[in-house]
Amino acid sequence: MLRRWGLLATLTALLAAGCSIDRVEWESSGFPVEAVAEVLEEEHGVSEPSVECIQREVQGADWECRAETSDGEYHCHVKANTPRELVYEAHCEAAHAEGETQHSDLADTVEEP
């Protein structure tokens, strides 16, 4: 019984101190979002895309992004340095093009008898 109260007191103290599990969520602002919007405008001719990104590495070096436009959806990838907000690489592909690429890659690897 004493052990339960000790555990309960510890959990209560941690919560009161502000310790919580960090939640990673899709973000609609910030430097990865701006980088993706710029790539879509320059390389794909898209204006005013709706972009959301999620951090895939703890240090923020790898971001996955999705964008919606009037023309369709895009999937993007950003490699960056979070503290300095320096983007090393950003590229996007149309969502339907990814599926077509996968199928064509599979067709290339199948050997004919």
pLDDT reported for residue 96: 76
pLDDT reported for residue 23: 63
Please, is 106 exposed, middle or buried when counting C-beta atoms within 10 Å of its C-beta (0-12, 13-18, 19+)? exposed
pLDDT reported for residue 81: 83
pLDDT averaged over 10-residue windows placed end to end, the chain, 113 residues: 62 52 80 95 93 85 93 93 85 74 41 44
The owner of tokens 């290339």 is: 108
